[in-house]
Chain A
Amino acid sequence: MTDVFFEILSPLPLNRHQDARRLFQLWADNAFHFLPNRWGLYEPLRHHFSLSTLDEAIRTWEYAYHVKRTVSPKLSGSIFMQYGPHRDHTTWTICLKNIKDFEQPSFCQLLECAAAIFSADLGFIHKITDAEVSRGRANGSISFLDAAHTETDLFIVTHRLNKFLPDIYWTTVFGNPYVQLFSRERLLSCPAYRVKELDNGSIVVQLTPELKDITAEEAAFERVRQEARNHLNNDAFFDLAKGLDYPYRVPEFVWGPLFH
Chain B
Amino acid sequence: MFDYSFHPYLRWLRGRSQGDSPGFDIDRYGLPPQTLLPHTGNFPSPESQALSPSAPSTGLAGFMVEQPNEVPGFRVGQQNDEPGRERTWPNGMETAAPESANIAQTLGLPPGVEEPDQPAPPQLPEWLHTVITMPVPQLSTAVDPRTGRRIVPYEPLIGPVRSYLTTNQNGRRSDDALAYVEGTNPLPDPDSAEAPSAERWPSSDMPIWPADINAGPGASTAQHADPEPTPEAVTRNTWPPPPKDGWPYPETDGIRGEVAWPAVVTPQPVGVAPVPSVGSIADSNLILANAGDVEEPQTEQQMPLPQNQPVEPTNPVAPTGLASRPPEQRDEQALSRALEDHRRAAADQIEQLVGTIATYGSRVYEDSILKAKDDLARLAERLRNDPGETVLSILNSFPQTRVEGKFVGGLAAVLTILANAKRGLEFERAVLHALSAASETTKINKNTSKIAVEGLGRSVPDVLNRGIREIKSGVEIDDSLQLKIQAAYAQLFRIPFSLIVSPTTQRISKSVRYAVEKTGGTIQRFDPATGTFTPF
B135 at the interface (CB under 8 A from A): no
Query: From residue B381, how far is it (CB to closest CB) to chain A in Å?
Result: 41
Let me know if B523 and A83 touch, CB within 8 A. no
* B39, CB-defined interface residue at 8 Å: no
User: Quick check: B494 and A84 within 8 Å, CB to CB?
Assistant: yes
> Which residues of chain B in 478-502 are interfacial with respect to chain A, using CB atoms and an 8 Å cutoff?
478-481, 483-484, 487-488, 491-494
A159 near B520: Cβ-Cβ < 8 Å = yes
**Contact A157–B518 (Cβ < 8 Å):** yes
Contacts of B535 in A (CB 8 A): 137, 143
Which residues of A in the span 127-166 have a Cβ within 8 Å of any Cβ on B? 137, 140, 143-148, 151, 153, 155, 157, 159
Smallest CB gap from B508: residue in A: A145
B487 to chain A: closest residue by CB? A64
**Are B514 and A143 in contact, with the CB atoms below 8 A?**
no
Contacts of A80 in B (CB 8 A): 514-515, 518
Across-interface contacts of B483 in A (CB, < 8 A): 42
A54-75 vs B, Cβ < 8 Å mask (1 yes, 0 no) = 0000001011101000000000
B514 and A83 within 8 A (CB): no
Q: How extensive is the interface on chain B, given as a class? A: 20 to 34
Cα-based distance from A179 to B492 in the complex (angstroms): 30
Chain B residues near A143 (CB, 8 Å)? 513, 517, 523, 535-536
> Cα distance A99–B394 when bound, in Å?
50
Given contacts A63-B491, A83-B491, A147-B506, contact A42 B480 (CB under 8 A): yes
Any chain A CB within 8 A of the CB of B298?
no
> Given known contacts A64-B511, A143-B536, A146-B507, is B481 in contact with A42 (CB within 8 Å)?
yes
| Chain A residue contacts of B505, Cβ below 8 A | 147
Contacts of B493 in A (CB 8 A): 84
Q: Quick check: is A43 within 8 A (CB to CB) of the other chain?
A: yes
Selected contact of A155 from candidates B480, B492, B514, B523, CB within 8 Å: B514
Count chain A CB atoms within 10 A of each CB in B480, B483, B491, B515 and give the residue with the most: B491
Q: How far, in Å, is B295 (CB) from chain A's closest CB?
A: 86
A146 close to B508 (CB less than 8 A):
yes
B532 to chain A, nearest CB (A): 15
Interface centre among B455, B483, B514 (most CB of A within 10 A): B514
Find residues 332-371 in chain B having any chain A CB closer than 8 Å to their own CB.
none
Docked complex Cα distance between A91 and B525 (Å):
26
Query: Are B484 and A76 in contact, with the CB atoms below 8 A?
Result: no
In the bound complex, do residue A91 and residue B506 qualify as a contact, i.e. CB atoms below 8 Å apart? no
Bound-state Cα–Cα, A86 to B511, Å: 21
Question: How large, as a class, is the contact surface on chain A?
Answer: 20 to 34
Question: B525 contacts which chain A residues (CB < 8 A)?
Answer: 147
Q: Is the CB of A43 within 8 A of B506?
A: no
By a CB distance below 8 angstroms, the chain B residues around A43 are: 478-480, 509, 511
Distance in Å from the Cβ of B119 to the closest Cβ of chain A?
A: 93
A4 to chain B, nearest CB (A): 13
How many whole Å from B339's CB to the nearest CB in chain A?
61
Q: Closest B-chain residue to A93, C-beta based?
A: B514
Asked if B517 and A155 make an inter-chain contact with CB atoms under 8 angstroms apart, the answer reads yes
**Of A62, A78, A148, which is within 8 A of B514 by CB?**
A78
**Is A211 an interface residue, CB under 8 A from the partner?**
no
Give bound CA distance, A42 to B514, whole Å: 12
Return chain B residues, CB-CB under 8 Å to A42: 478-481, 483-484, 511
CB contacts under 8 Å to A, within B509-536, are: 509-511, 513-515, 517-518, 520, 523, 525, 535-536
A78 touches B523 (CB 8 A): no
Bound together, the chains give a CA A121 to CA B492 distance in angstroms of: 22
Contact call B513/A145, Cβ cutoff below 8 A: yes
A85 to B506, alpha carbons, bound, how many Å? Answer: 35
A140 touches which of B487, B511, B517 (Cβ 8 Å) = B517
Given contacts A63-B491, A84-B493, contact A76 B510 (CB under 8 A): yes
Please indicate the chain A residues that have their CB under 8 angstroms from the CB of B520 in the complex.
157, 159
Chain A contacts for B515, CB-based, 8 A? 64, 80
Instruction: Determine if A64 and B484 form an interchain contact, defined as CB atoms under 8 angstroms apart.
Output: yes
Question: Which listed residue (A44, A88, A95) contacts B510, Cβ 8 A?
Answer: A95
Q: Which of the residues B480, B484, B494, B507 comes within 8 Å of A147, measured between beta carbons?
A: B507
B479 and A83 contacting across the interface, CB-CB below 8 Å:
no
Q: Which of B456, B506, B509, B518 contacts A88 (CB 8 A)?
A: B518
Expressed in whole angstroms, the Cα–Cα distance for A147 and B480 within the complex equals: 20
A244: interface (CB < 8 Å): no
B455 and A83 contacting across the interface, CB-CB below 8 Å: no
Q: Is A41 close to B, CB under 8 A? A: yes
Within 8 A of A (CB), among B197-231: none
A66 touches B455 (CB 8 A): no
CA distance in complex: A159, B478 (Å): 24
State A155–B514 Cα separation when bound (angstroms). Answer: 7
In the bound complex, how far is the Cα of B517 from the Cα of A140, in angstroms? 9
Q: How far apart are the CA atoms of A95 and B514 in the complex, in Å? A: 12
Flag B439-459 by CB within 8 Å of A: 1 or 0 each.
000000000000000011000
Across chains A and B, which 4 residue pairs bring their CB atoms closest together, nearest first?
A84-B492, A43-B478, A43-B479, A42-B484
**Can you add 18 more A-B contacts, CB < 8 Å, to A83-B488, A147-B505?**
A41-B484, A43-B479, A64-B487, A66-B479, A78-B510, A80-B518, A84-B492, A88-B518, A93-B514, A137-B535, A143-B535, A143-B536, A145-B508, A145-B510, A153-B513, A155-B513, A155-B514, A157-B518
Please name 8 pairs of A and B residues whose Cβ atoms are closer than 8 Å in the assembled complex, sorted by A: A63-B488, A76-B510, A83-B492, A140-B517, A146-B508, A147-B506, A147-B507, A155-B517
